[in-house]
Every structure is written in structure tokens, then in C-alpha cells.
Chains A and B, each alone.
Chain A
Amino acid sequence: MFKVPALGHGIGLRTEHYADVLATPADPIDVDWFEVISDNFMEPGGNPRRVLRAVRERWPVVLHGVSLSLGAVDPLNERYLDALAALAHEVEPAIVSDHLCWGSHGGAYAHDLLPLPFTEEALAHVAARVLRVQDRLKRQILVENVSSYVAFTQSTMTEWQFLEALGARTDCGLLLDVNNVFVSAHNHGFDARAFIDSVPVDRVGQFHLAGHSQLGALLLDTHDHPVRDEVWALYRHAVARFGAVPTLIEWDDKLPSLTRVVEESTRARGVAAEALASSARATGVATRREPPRAPR
């Protein structure tokens, strides 16, 4: 199982917001934590590290990577892993995560989150690499489901069966990206709620929420919109199942002001509280509750 840290609601730290984040010591930003893209902070100096240090002094930080390439047949990039370990040592993040995907082949990088076939061969391969990463980092990691646009004919299990088995084999946690579930469900014609309902409750350590866009008949995980109503509904459903799990708003392209992104996080806080209250009413049992908010 994965012991869920009581973090609350966070947003992604983005370059365009650095100045606003650092400039408001007297008027705290209404978020509980920041997620940073690990890859953007691996070089040793300059403004990125300065900002990260300043943010870490005021908030919990979680490290979210995009390049571990857990599913690639290329050898695990040990230099990248060393750099991640060094960053984690310095930042002491509440969570370290990356994706269920691959991104390199023959030493070349696509800089994308490419999908895997859900086969026993892929499962054994990814599991061995997750174990190696956890061994090197000396901690559990969270593995995130990605949005995908292709499904492989050779898959012998569903994505959620794959994730469940990965958790069981490696004791890693899962980062459940609710928007990615919605996008992939649309693109491949499966039931998003069936996905959510099949993921083991004790594995999910973080939620992601983001906006997506439409390309023809497909949905793309573009992080360039507010969270869509259908994804809010799915989030409500996920909170009812998993309880108070740290929730992040991801917004990358067409990035609005810091205030607007924080508003989206505040909305997530409200939706989660509502979902927790109604699920407690329905069952008579309180699910994992929101942590008390620390005064700042």
C-alpha cells in the first residue's frame, strides 16, 4: 500500500508564475503545495534552483518527472536517476512520481509519454525498472496513467489491470490522473468509471486534474484549458472512492494568471469536500478526510 501524505490541494509551479509566487510573502497564495517538473530543476544553478529553494522554504513540494522512461527497452538512464536522487535529497519532496510510458529508443528521446501494450512482457519489464528506481531513491514512487491515442492489438489486459498488477509486484503507488482516464476512455471507448472503480484504493497517492482539447474525434491531453465539467464529475466519483487524496491542477499551455490557476485548485478543494461529505452521508462512514489546513 501507499501511505498518502496529508497534503491537500496544489498546483504546478510554472516559469511564467515564478515572480508572482515569490513576490507575495505577505499575502499567501491559497495553495497547500507545489508540484515541480523534476527535469526542469536538474541543472545545478541559476534561476530555476533559486526559485525552487525559495518555494520549498514556504511550501511542501512534490517532484513529478517526465523522463524516467519506465517502459522503454532502452537501458534505464542511470545518470538521470542519479540526478533525480540528488534533487530528491535536496528538496525532500513529499512525493516522487513519473509515468507509465516509454519515451526513448536507441538512445534517442521523443520527449513524449508514449503508450505501452498491456502485456505480461511489458508488465515484467516495467516492474523490474520501478523496483530499480525505488531501490535507488530509497522510497516508493507514484506511477501515473497517461492519456493515450493508440491502443495495441496485442494487449492482453486492461490498463487498470496492468496498474493493479504493477502496484502488487513493486509496491509502488499510483498517481491517478483523472483527466487522463477521461481522455483515454473517450479515445478507446472504455468506461472511465470502470477504470476508477477497479484501481485498488490503497494504491492511489495523488490525483491530477487538467484540461483537454479535441482533435477530430479524439481528445488530447493538452493542459491548456480549465478542467472540463465531465472531468469534475469523474473527480467527484474518484474522491468518493479514494477519499482525500492530494490533488493537483496541471496547466501548461495558454497558461492564465497564477490567481486563475489557484481558483481552479480552490474549486477542486470544494468539489472534494462535497464529495467526501456526500459519500459519508451515503455510507454512514467517514472516508479519509481532508487534512486540517496548516496556518501560514
Chain B
Amino acid sequence: MPRADGPALAELQRRFFELVTAPEGVATELAARGLPTSALAAIIAGDARATAVERLDVYANMYFFRILDVLRADYPKLLAVVGDDAFHDLATDYLRAHPSRHPSLRFVGAALPAFVARHALCLERPWLAELAALEWARVDVFDRADAAPLAREDLAVLAPADFATLVLAPVPACALVPATWTIEETWRAVEDGGAPGPPARADAGHAVLVWRAGVTVRHRAVAATERRALELLLARTSFGALCAALGDEVESEEAAARRAAQWLGQWLADELLARA
């Protein structure tokens, strides 16, 4: 059994972690630190099968490619649009700026949309960040808490006067993604196997609603007024206050009430609302 003095456990883990998470591999990182590869020999036993650097590189490669695989799975549309090589470079840049901070790989891509927004990729295609945000919202609602959907019959027992104070709750697995481009069309084009061109500029107030009905993740585009209604819904505003607030944005209070009633029907059909 080899016996040698070595760094304390904390120091050993610090050095090991820095080397295996370095973006260009172990040898490059050692060189960048002005250390000869033989510096590793004090810590790690190399032999005829593999040198210390080669052995540590196994971990360095697994680190990067495991996380790359997860990002590719979480962002299939972004990957299809930018291509394998650019996505690989994006993942490298992303991991350097955002090492994983959660024990589960489930969250490793959470900061990618905001990162893409500041990345060179977005200079020519500013809509990529919004496409990524849509993809992340779909990942995020996938396993959020379940809720029994509110059914039309649940509301049938209410008197008309009760609607004014009724507070409707969206299902927990629900998100609203603001979008200045029609990224839902890009998403659809890739889903259908096409090679999408750039999306069109969206109307002001455009958003994509993402939610899970049962175990199926869905999304659809919403225009400005419904987006406003959904924001009020997410803020747990009563149905009466929601109609009143919309009255300022549409032609009259009656029209607002009619429109809110239509949306209520749509939201029930979508299974977007949770039974209290």
C-alpha cells in the first residue's frame, strides 16, 4: 500500500474539482497555472495503463459531456437552430459562468436563457434567448406539483354574484413567457422537422403560456389582453377585479366581462385552473 503525505481532504478536493471542471481539459489547465504535468504525480498515481493526466481527464470529459447531454435534452429547439458545434461552445461558455449549483441535473440549465441573452449568439439572432426561455418553461412545468383541474361543473354551483369575489388559481405547473418574437412558431417549425427562418416580431404584449395538463406539457401564444388577464390570475386577483382591470383595456366593462368569461371557458378547457 503506497503511503505518502498529501494535501488535506479539503485541499485535495479543491484541486481535483478545479482540474476536472476546467473548460479545456486537465493538461491545458495545468499549463495555464504554470504547473508541469508531473505536479499531479504527487497526488494521483499514474502507471503503464494511463498517466495521471489521462486518468483525471476521464473525469473532466465525463463532467462536460454529461452536462452537455442534459442541456441538449432540455433545449432541443435551440440546439436544432444553432447546430451542434455552436451549442457545444455555448455549453462550454455557460458552464464556465454558471457551474451547477443544485444536486440534481434537473436544474443545470435553469440559467441558460438569461445567459444566451448576453451571449454572442444573440447578437445576430436576438430571439434565441426567448426560444430558450420557452424551452426552459416547458422543462420547469414538467414535474412541478400536481393539482386537480377545476371543472365547469365546479363553477356551475356558484351564483352569478359569487363570481365577483371568486379567486381562481392557476395550476402550479404554469408559466408565462414574455416574448417580443413569435418564438412559438420557431418552436413549432423545429418540432415539425423544418428548418425555421427567423421569427417575426410579435405584437406588443405577446407572450407564450406554458402549463401542464395531467402529464402533458402544453403551450400556446397569448395576445396582450389575455396576457394581462393571466398576470392578474397568477397574482390571485379575484375574477371581479380581473374584469374591472380589463375594463380599462377594452371598449367597455360589459365587453371586458364577456371576454373574461370567454377566457374562463378557454382556461377550463385547457385544464389551466386548479380546484381549490
Contact = CB atoms under 8 A, between A and B. Distances in A.
B31 interface: no
B46 to A, nearest CB: 9
A105 B144 contact: no
Contacts of B47: 189
How large, as a class, is the contact surface on chain A?
35 or more
A111 B108 contact: yes
Interface string A103-136: 1111111111010110101100100000000000
Given A109-B101, A112-B63, A150-B55, A46 B143 contact: yes
B33 interface: no
Contact of A108 (B17, B105, B145): B17
Interface in A191-221: 215-218, 220
A45 B2 contact: no
Interface stretch (A56-64, A152-160, A279-287): A152-160
Interface in A242-290: none
Given A42-B104, A114-B16, A187-B49, A48 B59 contact: no
A46 B4 contact: no
Contacts of A77: 103
A67 B146 contact: no
A73 B6 contact: no
B104 A125 contact: no
Nearest to B61: A215
Contacts of A220: 58
A229 interface: no
Contacts of B9: 73, 116-117, 119, 121-122, 125
Contact of A44 (B5, B12, B100, B144): B144
Interface in A30-73: 39-40, 42-50, 67, 69, 72-73
Closest A-B pairs by Cβ, 4 of them: A154-B6, A67-B103, A45-B146, A43-B143
8 contacts: A44-B146, A45-B144, A46-B215, A49-B146, A67-B103, A152-B44, A156-B1, A189-B47
Interface of A: 39-40, 42-50, 67, 69, 72-73, 77, 80, 102-112, 114, 116-117, 119, 121-122, 125, 149-158, 187-189, 215-218, 220
Given A116-B9, A152-B45, A156-B3, 15 more contacts: A44-B144, A44-B145, A45-B147, A45-B172, A47-B142, A47-B215, A106-B14, A108-B17, A111-B66, A119-B6, A119-B9, A149-B55, A151-B45, A153-B45, A158-B1
Interface of B: 1-10, 12-14, 16-17, 20-21, 41-45, 47-50, 52, 54-56, 58-59, 62-63, 66-67, 99-106, 108, 141-147, 172-173, 212, 215
